[in-house]
Protein backbone atom coordinates (compact mmCIF):
# COMPACT_ATOMS: atom_id res chain seq x y z
CA UNK A 1 0.00 0.00 0.00
CA UNK A 2 1.29 3.49 -0.79
CA UNK A 3 2.20 5.69 2.16
CA UNK A 4 -0.47 8.24 1.16
CA UNK A 5 -3.13 5.53 1.38
CA UNK A 6 -1.94 4.55 4.84
CA UNK A 7 -1.99 8.18 5.96
CA UNK A 8 -5.56 8.50 4.67
CA UNK A 9 -6.58 5.46 6.76
CA UNK A 10 -4.90 7.07 9.78
CA UNK A 11 -6.94 10.23 9.14
CA UNK A 12 -10.11 8.14 9.09
CA UNK A 13 -9.12 6.48 12.37
CA UNK A 14 -8.47 9.91 13.88
CA UNK A 15 -12.18 10.67 13.53
CA UNK A 16 -12.82 7.94 16.14
CA UNK A 17 -10.60 9.60 18.74
CA UNK A 18 -12.13 10.26 22.13
CA UNK A 19 -10.10 13.27 23.29
CA UNK A 20 -12.39 15.60 25.30
CA UNK A 21 -9.57 16.74 27.63
CA UNK A 22 -6.59 17.41 25.38
CA UNK A 23 -8.59 18.00 22.18
CA UNK A 24 -5.58 16.39 20.46
CA UNK A 25 -7.01 13.70 18.20
CA UNK A 26 -4.55 11.17 16.76
CA UNK A 27 -5.17 8.34 14.31
CA UNK A 28 -2.91 5.44 13.39
CA UNK A 29 -2.98 2.38 11.15
CA UNK A 30 -0.83 -0.74 10.87
CA UNK A 31 -0.50 -2.58 7.57
CA UNK A 32 0.24 -6.31 7.55
CA UNK A 33 1.85 -8.61 4.97
CA UNK A 34 -1.52 -10.08 4.00
CA UNK A 35 -2.80 -6.60 3.07
CA UNK A 36 -5.00 -6.22 6.13
CA UNK A 37 -4.96 -2.96 8.08
CA UNK A 38 -5.75 -2.23 11.69
CA UNK A 39 -6.67 1.22 12.89
CA UNK A 40 -6.33 2.88 16.24
CA UNK A 41 -7.22 6.25 17.74
CA UNK A 42 -6.29 7.84 21.03
CA UNK A 43 -8.81 7.27 23.79
CA UNK A 44 -8.62 9.55 26.83
CA UNK A 45 -9.83 9.19 30.36
CA UNK A 46 -10.23 11.78 33.12
CA UNK A 47 -7.55 9.79 34.97
CA UNK A 48 -4.85 10.73 32.47
CA UNK A 49 -2.48 7.77 33.04
CA UNK A 50 -5.28 5.47 31.84
CA UNK A 51 -5.33 7.01 28.35
CA UNK A 52 -4.37 4.94 25.30
CA UNK A 53 -2.50 6.35 22.32
CA UNK A 54 -3.50 5.69 18.72
CA UNK A 55 -0.28 3.90 17.83
CA UNK A 56 -0.52 1.40 20.66
CA UNK A 57 -4.23 0.99 20.00
CA UNK A 58 -3.51 0.07 16.35
CA UNK A 59 -0.74 -2.39 17.27
CA UNK A 60 -2.85 -4.04 19.98
CA UNK A 61 -5.86 -4.16 17.65
CA UNK A 62 -3.78 -6.05 15.08
CA UNK A 63 -2.42 -8.43 17.71
CA UNK A 64 -5.92 -9.12 19.04
CA UNK A 65 -6.78 -10.22 15.51
CA UNK A 66 -3.90 -12.73 15.41
CA UNK A 67 -1.21 -10.60 13.76
CA UNK A 68 2.34 -10.53 15.14
CA UNK A 69 5.45 -8.41 14.80
CA UNK A 70 6.48 -10.62 11.86
CA UNK A 71 3.27 -9.64 10.02
CA UNK A 72 3.68 -5.86 10.28
CA UNK A 73 5.04 -4.03 7.22
CA UNK A 74 4.23 -0.35 7.83
CA UNK A 75 2.51 2.13 10.12
CA UNK A 76 1.12 5.63 9.63
CA UNK A 77 0.02 8.15 12.22
CA UNK A 78 -1.46 11.60 11.91
CA UNK A 79 -2.70 14.56 13.91
CA UNK A 80 -3.51 18.23 13.42
CA UNK A 81 0.03 19.44 14.02
CA UNK A 82 2.29 21.96 12.28
CA UNK A 83 4.75 19.26 11.24
CA UNK A 84 4.49 15.46 11.09
CA UNK A 85 3.16 14.00 14.35
CA UNK A 86 5.69 11.93 16.28
CA UNK A 87 4.91 9.04 18.68
CA UNK A 88 5.21 9.71 22.41
CA UNK A 89 7.83 7.94 24.53
CA UNK A 90 5.48 5.17 25.68
CA UNK A 91 4.54 4.39 22.08
CA UNK A 92 8.17 4.41 21.03
CA UNK A 93 8.95 1.82 23.70
CA UNK A 94 6.06 -0.42 22.65
CA UNK A 95 6.94 -0.05 18.97
CA UNK A 96 10.56 -0.95 19.70
CA UNK A 97 9.42 -4.35 20.94
CA UNK A 98 6.31 -5.09 18.88
CA UNK A 99 7.07 -3.49 15.49
CA UNK A 100 9.88 -4.50 13.09
CA UNK A 101 12.90 -2.22 13.47
CA UNK A 102 13.29 -1.67 9.72
CA UNK A 103 9.60 -1.27 8.80
CA UNK A 104 8.59 2.25 7.77
CA UNK A 105 6.63 4.47 10.12
CA UNK A 106 5.01 7.39 8.33
CA UNK A 107 4.53 10.35 10.64
CA UNK A 108 2.12 12.88 9.13
CA UNK A 109 -0.25 15.74 9.72
CA UNK A 110 -3.52 16.95 8.20
CA UNK A 111 -1.66 19.34 5.88
CA UNK A 112 -0.06 16.56 3.80
CA UNK A 113 3.40 16.55 5.40
CA UNK A 114 4.83 13.03 5.71
CA UNK A 115 8.12 12.00 7.28
CA UNK A 116 9.36 8.41 7.15
CA UNK A 117 11.20 6.88 10.09
CA UNK A 118 11.53 3.53 11.89
CA UNK A 119 11.74 2.26 15.46
CA UNK A 120 15.54 2.34 15.55
CA UNK A 121 15.55 6.02 14.69
CA UNK A 122 12.71 6.78 17.11
CA UNK A 123 14.31 4.98 20.06
CA UNK A 124 17.96 4.15 19.36
CA UNK A 125 18.78 2.76 22.83
CA UNK A 126 15.54 0.94 23.54
CA UNK A 127 15.10 -1.14 26.66
CA UNK A 128 14.11 -4.66 25.57
CA UNK A 129 13.81 -8.25 26.75
CA UNK A 130 17.57 -8.73 26.45
CA UNK A 131 17.98 -6.17 29.24
CA UNK A 132 15.98 -8.28 31.72
List the CATH number of the domain containing 93: 3.40.140.10
pLDDT score for 97: 96
pTM: 0.95
The pLDDT > 70 percentage for the chain reads 100
Give the confidence band of 92 by pLDDT, cuts at 50, 70, 90.
very high
Give the confidence band of 5 by pLDDT, cuts at 50, 70, 90.
very high
Q: Residue range 25-41: average pLDDT?
A: 98
97 occurs within a structural domain = yes
pLDDT score for 121: 97
44 occurs within a structural domain = yes
107 occurs within a structural domain = yes
| Cβ contact 16:9 at 8 Å | no
The pLDDT > 90 percentage for the chain reads 94
122 occurs within a structural domain = yes
132 occurs within a structural domain = no
35 occurs within a structural domain = yes
Question: What are the residues whose beta carbons fall under 8 Å from the beta carbon of 85, sequence distance 6 or more?
Answer: 26, 77, 78, 79, 107, 108, 109
Range of the domain at 72: 3-127
Query: Count of domains in the chain?
Result: 1
State residue 119 phi and psi, 5-degree precision.
Answer: -65, -35
Q: Give the whole-angstrom CA distance, residue 42 versus residue 27.
A: 7
Read off the pLDDT of residues 41-91 as tens digits, 9 standing for 90 and up. Answer: 999 999 988 999 999 999 999 999 999 999 999 999 999 999 999 999 999
Active site residue 44: no
Give the confidence band of 129 by pLDDT, cuts at 50, 70, 90.
confident
49 occurs within a structural domain = yes
**Given 55, 97, 116, 121, which residue is catalytic?**
55
72 occurs within a structural domain = yes
pLDDT > 90? residue 23 = yes
DSSP letter for each residue of 49-92: GG-B-HHHHHHHHHHHTT--GGGEEEEEEEES-SS-----HHHH
Amino acid sequence: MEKEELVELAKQARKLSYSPYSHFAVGAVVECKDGSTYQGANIENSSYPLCMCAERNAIYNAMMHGQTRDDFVAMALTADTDGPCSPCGACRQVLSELFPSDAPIYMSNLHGDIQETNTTELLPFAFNGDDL
